[in-house]
Structure 1
Amino acid sequence: MSETVKTEKHGFQTEVGKLLHLVTHSLYSNKEIFLRELVSNAADAADKLRFKALSDNSLYESDGELRVRISVDKEQGTITISDNGIGMTREQAIEHLGTIAKSGTSEFFGQLTGDESKDSQLIGQFGVGFYSAFIVADRVTVLSRAAGHDATTGVQWESAGEGDFEVTDIEKSTRGTDIILHLRDDEKEFLDEWKLRSIVNKYSDHISIAVEMWKEEVPERDGPDGPEGDKIPAEPAHWEQVNAAKALWTREKSDISDEEYNEFYKHISHDFEDALTWGHNRVEGTHDYTSLLYVPKRAPWDMWNRETKHGLKLYVQRVFIMDDAEQFMPTYLRFVKGVLDSNDLPLNVSRELLQDSKVTDAMRKACTKRVLQMLEKTAKKDPEAYQAFWKEFGNALKEGPAEDASNKEKIAGLLRFASTHNDNSEQTVALADYIERMKEGQDKIYYIVADSYNAAKNSPHLEVFRKKGVEVLLMSERVDEWLISHLNEFDAKQLVSVTRGSLDLGDLDDDADKEAQKAIEEAAEGLVSRVKASLGDSVKDVRVTHRLTDSPACIVTDENDMSSQMVKLMKAAGQPVPEQKFILEVNPEHDLVKHMDAEQAEDTFAEWSQLLLDQATLSEQGALDNPAEFVARLNKLLLAAK
């Protein structure tokens, strides 16, 4: 190191400045979480050193007893959280403490409302980590030195949590990190050591690294029998462990309280809320491992960001290996948090090795099955809680049938939809509920996919179903078309679109219905032929409808063609789409169609035919390729009718 001490001033990344403001102004009601966050980070640093030392034992520097220490200086008004973990270099301190290394931060800040109570929940999902120090401190000093580096390579980072921070080269004899909080005058209550111990016991008892606090010397004193009895020996001053330091997932389930489970969830997820449900299982036999899996109550703010990492914390024989091991949880369950501790994987396991491991595949299948069972149980025991879960995570779960064919039926049972059975857009109808309400003679599950709930609910394709009292599922989320293309049946009942192919209601149509339909078709043969000739190759076919009772016409997708919704999705994604032609179904019983049929002039009849097609297209797709032409044609026909 040069003789001149190198000090530099850096500006915070814009997002850090915003986060610091929010942390200090929105988390005032839960100040004590600063200690949970900092102790958690310190424990993570120790875990990371333990993992790296598997391949380089010298990183321990003759000190293999990993720990976190909390000390108080009442005269200086400071709390120090120290660890002997992996530590940081100068460059790492600037990067990790001056920027938020998360993609989608702009999206996160865009979701903030200005309502402190709501924003504090969102901040909890984002994870405040180190910056929680500024909840109680008006200045923070960090001293760090990376394991395996020379003592002269230490770094001091310091900031008042405003616009900038200073970084200085220092000499630090021990590896790891010391975080010194200079408490605000109104936060001196946290200098009470018993208060700090109680916070550690509350939030950090489950951490597998020992958390220690200094205990002053205790002189020899009288025992329970008084001065004449045996004396209690003196205790010299020493560092005393204040947490259980036993990995929670290694303990017996019967010995763990719900509060402990929830605190551990908050430790691994950095969420502020309790989990919705969890499952703790120890598996012995062909594979030997323990899993502790949590389903959150609220979706993480970045769940739809494709760059966001997800997965479980992976341990091998109690040794931390990696965060976000995505190999053990399918993408549609990316919201699941938890820990997986295996005795079957090698300690030097890598992400690449996990990709091709039979053990990984078996554990993934088992964990997936367990989460689905947890959700099934919640749906059965607490429908209200499950409905709240569905609002948060339903669209992610809808990705399941396409991704996980082996669990398609289980996933389908967890899906919820809006339907014509209800008067609102709430997605509360399970497929099993639908089947229970099926009409006598009904053997199919009917659905419609549209751009919006209102478009689905008011689609002319539903007219005959309303007339017969047949329930139809109403789908309007972007993911629904993708879902339904991979979900063909449930409980041996075929899912059928009301907008595709020829409508066959099976036994829902009696003999009288079928005879009436046949008579209408025969009577309208001339009309259908004229419309076909007028529209030419702008449609795939023209036929009499059996779907409509109140509307003059609708367009239908051929059974083997791509649906109109899928065409729109592909176009929106910039994907090439083959030319798509639809079938026009006309309702000869409608007054407009009767008026058109009576028109003798073929050019005027052609205008009516095109208008009918445009109306049906607009009703189905919500837009036309040439709306100006449609308006001009409509005006022309209206004027001619005067």
Structure 2
Amino acid sequence: MTAQAETLEFQSEARQLLQLVIHSIYSNKDTFLRELVSNASDALDKLRLEAFRDKDLPADTSDLHVALEVDSARRTLTVRDNGIGMTRDEVVGLIGTIAKSGTAEFLRKLKESKDAAGSQDLIGRFGIGFYSSFMVADKVTLVTRRAGESEGVRWESSGESTYTIEPVADAPQGTAVTLHLKPADEEEHLHDYTSRAKLTEIVKRYSDFITWPVRLAGEDGGEPETINSRKALWARPASEVGEDEYAEFYKHISHDWNDPLETIRLQAEGTFEYQALLFIPSRAPLDLFMRERKRGVQLYVKRVFVMDDCAELMPEYLRFVKGVVDAQDLSLNVSREILQRDRQIQLMRRRLVKKVLSTVKSMMTAKPDSYRTFWQEFGRAVKEGLLDDYENRDAILEIASFDSTHDPEKQTTLAQYVERMKEGQEHIYYMTGESRALIENSPHLEAFRDKGFEVLVLTDAVDEMWIDAVPGFGGKQFQSIAKGEVDLRTEDEKKEAEERQADFSDLLSWMTTTLADHVKEVRLSSRLTTSPACIVGDTHEVSPTLEKMYRAMGQELPQIKRILELNPGHPLVTRLREAFGEREDKAGLSETVELLYGMALLSEGGELADPARFTRLLTGHLERAL
């Protein structure tokens, strides 16, 4: 080791992940080569793009390629590229540290996974393919020099707790990863990575479509042989591409270990030509709801890579879609600022979005199991589109599924809900809340359950946002069962309620005054059958769950007073009315009313302003009752 070499420790999360990869993750060791070749291809893409944008970049781009070099005697395999390369800080940041949000949660799930397939699924969703090298190697040496830099760096590790890193004066441009292969074992005939035939087989299976040449060094100094076909999958006729080829291409661009759930091809011809090959993953990436997430669509121009995670081609709510879009008429020197204003990009985006949504809609009938998987994994993200994609709002509503009171085991679409609606029913009823259990036990649901009206059960945080922004579906408006006036009564029941109103009017006025610090009004309810009281909001008020969300984000809101509704048929309420008429002194009744309000608040999952006072009042009432 030279005086300039340093020994550093892997970040603790990286160390844990390395051990999991080495000892328990992959069932197919061959995939390490796919990951290294894919990384090399990315590095070549980045160099060509960088050289195009910076004409003065001192970099050789005359023969960009990936090279595989084997030394059977020393049992080494080197994957070399002459791409963009890395600086020392980039090496430490990309390999020695895992700086992703959610790493701790990911490791917890990985350790809890009961089988190798489950572990492989998780690690594929996290995307750290370089570590797979240690499945087949006792030691890995990486030598790299970033294009335009004068000095390179050597990184080396045996996959334990530390690695060494040191400067290299004469490193060539790009990156070379040398695997010091583990000793041969009884499975050597299956995993002989010094075999030219084995390496050729792996490259053709996993990396045949990579546009850069993958060259296998000749034996005894012979001429290198290009072992991949280099044919862009999206440019080949669909009839010539097999599902396994699509699956491997998806894994190449996404660094996912699972096959895609659905493959989408699109070809536009005419005044503006482009081709698209898109994929819907079978599992949501772990960073789907993290701020630093990237969208997955890559932009090419005439088969030349231009931009990764091109946000202008896919809206935020479809950020999980992976793939490539290859345009014929854009400039190679396109920037994100230009893309934001480009009319052709906007037209492409509109058509791509419609194609993705129509594909999901077709899955609902043609592949119902795949659709259910899709909605389970990505439904929460898709519903974000209801807030800002007005053009496709109806299409999103058509592919959405929701829990409902109709069948606790199966979700329903809005079309199915409307088809089941009772004769004369004008609204699609729903209730939002933190959990299904909380909603199903809510007093608000009593009359709807009693009269057989179906109610949508909305528990995702995004449901609180979009449901107030979307007017309805299929000519039917959405109606919260916890807001505004909801009246399911027959004409006879309405007449009976009018007669009761006169009996309760004085009590209601007095309670409204007594509870003025907590509620804006006390009124009789038409939505209760067994509970004595419930709390409801005005039609356009923020729901309690949404209010909690705003306050948790640090947003100050004015006090929101809601409405206390009483069940006039409940014995507690009728006895309260009788006592109100009998007693001159209302002080004791004030405490009862306060308890009634607190009970209603707790029954919907609310929080008491003064739990200690509520407990004292309840204790006193229980003592007197005994």
* TM-score normalised to structure 1 length: 0.91
CA separation of 1:558 and 1:622: change in aligned 2, threshold 3 A: same
How many angstroms apart in 2 are the aligned matches of 1:163 and 1:27? 18
- Judge which range, 628-637 or 204-213, deviates more: 628-637
Q: Which residue of 1 aligns with 2:617?
A: 633
CA distance in 1, matches of 2:109, 2:26: 20
- Residue 203 of structure 2 corresponds to 200
The alignment status of 1:566 with 2:546, answered yes or no, reads yes
Query: 2:419 — aligned with what?
Result: 436
**Which residue, out of 234, 254, 262, partners 1:249?**
234
1:228 corresponding residue in structure 2: none
Distance 1:61 1:540, change over 3 A: closer
Question: Which secondary structure state, in structure 2, belongs to the residue aligned with residue 309 of structure 1?
Answer: coil
Which amino acid is the alignment partner of residue 589 of structure 1?
G
Question: Structure 1 counterpart of 2:602, which letter?
Answer: L
C-alpha displacement of 1:238? 1.9
The aligned amino acid for 1:450 is G
Partner of 1:51: 49
Q: CA deviation at 1:204?
A: 0.3
The match for 1:69 among 67, 76, 86 is 67
Query: 1:145–1:172: 8 Å Cα contact kept in structure 2?
Result: no
Structure 1, unaligned runs of 5 or more: 218-235
Displacement, 1:38? 0.4
1:488 to 471, 494, 499: 471
2:555 to 551, 575, 583: 575
Residue 110 of structure 1: how far off its partner (Å): 3.4
Please give the alpha-carbon distance, in whole angstroms, between the structure 1 residues aligned to 2:507 and 2:146: 84
SS in structure 1 at match of 2:309 = strand
Matching of residue 145 in structure 1 with residue 145 in structure 2:
yes
The Cα of 1:322 is off from its aligned counterpart by 2.1
TM-score, normalization by structure 2: 0.93
Query: 1:208 is aligned with what amino acid?
Result: T
Residue 557 and residue 173 in structure 1: after superposition, are their counterparts in 2 closer, same or farther (change >3 A)?
Answer: closer
**CA deviation vs aligned residue, 1:326-382 (integer Å, no higher than 9, x gap):** 221111111111111122321111222222322222222222111111211112212
**CA-CA distance at 1:31 after TM superposition:** 0.6
Identical residues among aligned pairs (%): 45
The question of whether the paired residues in 2 share the 8 Å contact of 1:375 and 1:414 is answered with yes
Q: Distance in 2 between matches of 1:380 and 1:91?
A: 51
2:16 counterpart residue number:
18
Give runs of aligned pairs for residues 161-560 of structure 1, distance below 5 A. 161-172=159-170, 174-186=172-184, 189-216=192-219, 237-424=222-409, 428-505=411-488, 509-560=489-540
* CA deviation after TM superposition for structure 1 residue 57, in Å: 5.3
Which letter maps to 2:463? D
Give a deviation string over 1:97-155, Cα, whole Å, max 9, x none: 323353443343233234352222211111122222111000112222333444xx233
Residues 517 and 133 of structure 1: CA distance in aligned 2, closer, same or farther (over 3 Å):
same
Structure 1: which amino acid aligns with 2:598?
A: D
SS of 1:271's equivalent? coil
What SS does the corresponding residue of 1:124 show, helix, strand or coil? helix
Moved more, 32-41 or 249-258: 249-258
Instruction: Note the aligned Cα RMSD (angstroms).
Output: 2.1
Map residues 116-131 of structure 1 onto 2, 5 A cutoff. 116-117=115-116, 118-131=118-131
Task: Provide the rounded CA distance (Å) in 1 between the counterparts of 2:476 and 2:625.
Answer: 49
What is the count of residue pairs matched by the alignment?
A: 614
Structure 2 letter corresponding to 1:143: V
Q: Does 1:85 align with 2:83?
A: yes
Q: Is the 8 A contact 1:24 1:134 kept in 2?
A: yes
Unaligned runs of 5+ in 2: none
Distance of 1:174 and 1:606 partners within structure 2: 85
Q: List aligned pairs for 1:95-114, cutoff 5 A.
A: 95-114=93-112
Deviation at 1:632, TM superposition (A): 1.6
Looking at structure 2, the residues matched to 61 and 524 of structure 1 have their Cα atoms a distance apart, in angstroms, of 87
Cα distance change of structure 1 residues 636 and 274 upon mapping to structure 2, 3 Å threshold: same
The CA distance in 2 between the partners of 1:53 and 1:183, in whole Å, is 35
Q: Is the 8 A contact 2:143 2:171 kept in 1?
A: no
CA distance in 2: counterparts of 1:526 and 1:169, whole angstroms: 87
In 1, Cα distance between equivalents of 2:329 and 2:556: 46
Aligned-pair CA distance for 1:276: 0.6
Amino acid at match of 2:597: L
CA distance in 1, matches of 2:59, 2:507: 92
Structure 1 contact 344–359 (Cα < 8 Å) conserved: no
Query: Greater shift after overlay, 384-393 or 161-170?
Result: 161-170
Contact 2:302 / 2:326 at 8 angstroms: preserved in 1? yes
Measure how far apart 1:86 and its partner are: 1.8
Contact 1:207 1:245 in 2 (8 A): yes
Q: What is the Cα deviation at residue 173 of structure 1? A: 6.7
Preserved CA contact (<8 Å) 1:280 1:291: yes
Residues 634, 62 of structure 1: CA spacing in aligned structure 2 closer, same or farther, 3 A cutoff? closer
Structure 1 CA distance, aligned partners of 2:96 and 2:335? 29
Q: Secondary structure at the match of 2:217?
A: strand
Preserved contact between residue 153 and residue 171 of structure 2 (Cα < 8 Å) = no
